[in-house]
Amino acid sequence: MSKRDLKKYLGELTKEQLEEQLVELYEKFAPVKVYYDFVFNPKEDKLIQEAKVKISHEYFPIKKPGAKWRPKAKMRRSVAQKLIKHFMMLGVDSYIVADIMLYNIEIAQKFSSQNLIKQELFYKSFLNSFEQAVNYIVSNGIFNDFKLRINAIQNETSEQKWRNKYNFEAILEKIDY
């Protein structure tokens, strides 16, 4: 069904029929419920905290009470990427999305400052994350608000002697700031 056909169909329904369909969608499909729950009760602060906890647990997992061992860091960048994509789908404020994007890189840098990472893919994936974050921030016109954090991330790659530190510099050289 095309968008035009959908609009025509919806235009033919009464207000009560539309309400019934929306309630049915809300009850039947979890993404619709999540969307409307967010629209009517955003609680962005709670979302931010939950996202940051999930991301930090990828690098610094918490030992569960009574457990004999501490879980190993999974270092999955995909966890943060899914959260970021979800926030964008919900229409969360661009400052919050940018904050989560940068937090993801910062927590990975904190982890790498304390642990030797041999996987080249780790460095490459965070270069991609950095480029995506900078592009997102620039395209939303909020670069000046995040300039210090972006520069701190780039400086940290040099201090930690990341193999691709010059690529981080090159990303910043592309933009006029």
Q: Position 50: which residue type?
A: E
pLDDT digits (tens, 9 = 90+) for 4-46: 988 888 899 899 998 999 889 889 988 888 888 887 877 878 8
Give the residue from 144, 162, 140 showing the smallest Cα distance to 153. Answer: 162
Q: For residues 106 and 152, what is the distance between their CA atoms, to the nearest angstrom?
A: 9
Residue pair 131/171 in contact (Cβ under 8 Å)? The answer is yes
| Residue 26 in tokens | 């809300």
Q: Please check whether residue 54 is in contact with residue 60, taking contact to mean a CB–CB distance below 8 angstroms.
A: no
Nearest to 96 by CA among 25, 40, 47, 155: 47
Query: Could you say which DSSP state residue 64 is in?
Result: P
**Each residue of 106-157: pLDDT tens digit?**
999 999 999 999 999 999 999 999 999 999 999 999 999 999 999 999 999 9
